[in-house]
């Protein structure tokens, strides 16, 4: 069964620190790896995404690192802010453009 | 100017009832999805329609029936509701074939079955 494994389940970081969330996938046919951010009571929203032909993508304070050989990718949030407190989901895209989501990481950034 | 909207936002009902959730997108996308998010926040796709054609149909009880009257609308009808159906249901849309395939999610419908 296609799976995307995400860790940690929850994360507490001090303001200004670095938040790191990791994901691992199984299917080498996956071709697109987005990260979604979800605030309480809201729907998930795309944060940043990467394709497997690059090893890193940076957008502002958010960076995806991608390791194709290890089938792993991670989200790094630099200078974490209390406003970043949310649940983060990694995902991988398979056939029929189906997104398979990780189990989510609840991030709390303390002031 | 909401991109993906769902109605109702909250739905409380008794076991055994039949209910529907409606979704509309004004992004001009040709693909729409239904996701279920359980109490542990796990997000799982249920169905996907492309140009009104069903393309993803996950292992979902046949009490759940999606209907797409046109590309901008995707409704979800649930028969004989069970306690385990309690969850947040999200509709999403995207444009098929684009390399980035960003899916835009609605605000969710919180279904509570008593």
Domain membership of residue B29 (yes or no) is yes
Contact B13, B78 (CB under 8 A): no
Domain of residue A69 covers 4-110
What is the tally of structural domains in chain B?
Answer: 1
What is the tally of structural domains in chain A?
Answer: 1
The CA distance from B78 to B57, in Å, is 15
By a Cβ cutoff of 8 Å, what residues of chain A touch chain B?
32, 34, 36, 38, 41-46, 49, 51, 87, 89, 93, 96-101, 103-104, 106
* Token code pair at residue A94: 């398979």
Q: What is the CATH number of the domain that holds A30?
A: 2.60.40.10
Measured between CA atoms, how close is A104 to chain B, in angstroms? 7
Q: What is the CATH number of the domain that holds B60?
A: 2.60.40.10
Beta bridge partner(s), residue A87: A38, A106
Q: In a structure prediction context, what are the per-residue pLDDT tens digits for chain B, which is 114 residues long?
A: 679 999 999 999 999 999 999 999 999 999 999 999 999 899 999 999 988 888 888 888 999 999 999 999 999 999 999 999 999 999 999 988 766 678 999 999 999 999
Domain membership of residue B104 (yes or no) is no
Domain membership of residue B39 (yes or no) is yes
Domain membership of residue B84 (yes or no) is yes
Q: Could you tell me which chain A residue has the CA closest to the CA of B10?
A: A41
Contact B30, A83 (CB under 8 A): no
The average pLDDT across A43-55 equals: 94
Confidence class for position A1, pLDDT limits 50, 70, 90? low
Tell me whether residues B101 and A93 touch, CB distance under 8 A: yes
Measured between CA atoms, how close is B27 to chain A, in angstroms? 15
Calculate the dihedral angle through the C-alpha atoms of A54, A55, A59, A62, rounding to the nearest 10 degrees: 150
Tell me whether residues B4 and A42 touch, CB distance under 8 A: no
Is the CA virtual torsion A83, A87, A93, A98 positive or negative? Answer: negative
Domain of residue B12 covers 4-98+109-113
Q: Which of A32, A45, A96 sits opposite B55 (nearest CB)?
A: A96
The CA distance from B57 to B21, in Å, is 17
The CA distance from B98 to B95, in Å, is 6
Measured between CA atoms, how close is B4 to chain A, in angstroms? 10
């Amino acid at each position: 069964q296609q799976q995307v494994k995400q860790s940690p389940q929850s994360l507490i970081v001090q303001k200004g620190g670095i938040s790191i969330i990791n994901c691992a996938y199984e299917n080498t046919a996956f071709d697109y790896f987005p990260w979604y951010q979800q605030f309480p009571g809201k729907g998930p929203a795309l944060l940043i995404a990467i394709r497997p032909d690059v090893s890193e993508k940076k957008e502002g304070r958010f960076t995806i690192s991608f390791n194709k050989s290890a089938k792993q990718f991670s989200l790094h949030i630099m200078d974490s802010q209390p406003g970043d407190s949310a649940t983060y989901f990694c995902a991988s895209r398979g056939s029929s453009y189906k997104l398979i989501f990780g189990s989510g990481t609840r991030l709390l950034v303390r002031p | 100017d909401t991109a993906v909207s769902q109605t109702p936002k909250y739905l409380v009902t008794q076991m055994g009832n039949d209910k529907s959730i409606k979704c509309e997108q004004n992004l001009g996308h040709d693909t729409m999805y239904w996701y279920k998010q359980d109490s542990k926040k796990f997000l799982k796709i249920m169905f996907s329609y492309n140009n009104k054609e069903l393309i993803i149909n996950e292992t979902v009880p046949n009490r759940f029936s999606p209907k797409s009257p046109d590309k901008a609308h995707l409704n979800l009808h649930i028969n004989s509701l069970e306690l385990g159906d309690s969850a947040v249901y999200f509709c999403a849309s995207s444009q098929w074939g684009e390399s980035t395939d960003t899916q835009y999610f609605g605000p969710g419908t919180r279904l509570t079955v008593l």
